Amino acid sequence: MPELPEVETVRRGLAPVMEGAAIARAEVNRPDLRWPFPSDMAARLTGQTVLRLRRRSKYILADLASGETLLIHLGMSGRMLVSGDPLGVFAHDHPAPEKHDHVVLHMDTGARITFNDPRRFGAMDLVPTDAAETHRLLAGLGPEPLGNGFDAAHLVGAFKGRRSPVKSVLLDQRVVAGLGNIYVCEALFRAKIRPTRHAGRISAGRVETLVPVIRDVLREAIEAGGSSLRDFRQADGELGYFQHSFHVYGREDQPCRTPDCTASVGRIVQSGRSSFFCARCQR
């Protein structure tokens, strides 16, 4: 599933094409994805100007002139692809329609935004803009890791008394929004914290080190266009490249990249997900 860097990469790719432009025509080609689409979704989108495109956790939110916000989740395999961009950023002509093109937005500029989702785990909803943060998918989310609400004091408080593994706590979207398996593995490696360590037993000093590490990993991944492992593509159809910078994720039995470390990367399963780490570097 795309994590924060992948979703932010898509948002940045869509913003120049969608912000300030109107949806001349919206096509909704099926009644649902993961959940049913809202009633009259095509009619409610058609004719609306996109005022702003923003991100909350792993969700893209398009604020419309109607006072509604289009909430988008990419799911496991969802892609938002741009074609026919008059700004010259995207060189792709409009491709022929594909089987899994479930929602298509024809912009008044001539650009086309296609939501393609073969596995149909994605989602879209329309909600009042002034109540978007109370939507059931957003209301319980923790602070954004790149925002001011995420700092050492917040994480120390979230870890206090917790006997759960630190990796599990960081994946809890109520603690911090948008982190997923890839970037938690990479951040814990850089912070030299083993993923199995109980969160409540990590000192405040180590937590203070972990916060900027998490931010650095996310920023670097965004600048690289995210990580393309299976289905992820940027809005222009290109792959992300951060996977080439992985220190531990997906590198089981390969040499640790820490200078002078002779250990290999290990893998364990935590709550059904693979955790990659170096047993020598991470304590």
Query: What residue spans define the domains of the chain?
Result: 4-134, 152-278
Q: Which of 246, 250, 249, 279 is nearest to 185 (CA)?
A: 249
Which range among 25-39, 90-104, 190-204 shows the weakest confidence by mean pLDDT? 90-104
What token pair was written down for 248?
A: 């531990």
What token pair was written down for 140?
A: 């319980």
CATH for 4-134?
3.20.190.10
Choice among 55, 56, 58, 233 that is catalytic: 58
Say what the pLDDT of residue 228 is.
45
Q: Give the DSSP H or E segment for 50.
A: strand 50-56
Residue 3 a catalytic site member? yes
Residue 167 a catalytic site member? no
CATH for 152-278?
1.10.8.50
pLDDT at 198 over 50: yes
Whole-angstrom distance, CA of residue 2 vs CA of residue 178: 9
Per-residue confidence band for 86, with pLDDT thresholds at 50, 70 and 90? low
State the pTM of this model: 0.88
Which position has the token pair 């024809």?
A: 106
Say what the pLDDT of residue 223 is.
83
Higher per-residue pLDDT: 97 or 220: 220
Choice among 2, 5, 143, 195 that is catalytic: 2
* 4-134 and 152-278 agree in CATH topology: no
pLDDT, tens digit, for every residue of 132-144? 999 999 999 999 9
pLDDT at 42 over 70: yes
Say what the pLDDT of residue 243 is.
52
Residue 192 a catalytic site member? no
Are β-strands 23-28 and 68-73 bridged in parallel, bridged antiparallel, or unpaired?
unpaired
Average pLDDT over residues 113-125: 94
Say what the pLDDT of residue 89 is.
55
pLDDT at 159 over 80: yes
- For a pLDDT cut of 90, what percent of the chain falls above it? 78
Residue 112 a catalytic site member? no
Per-residue confidence band for 241, with pLDDT thresholds at 50, 70 and 90? very low
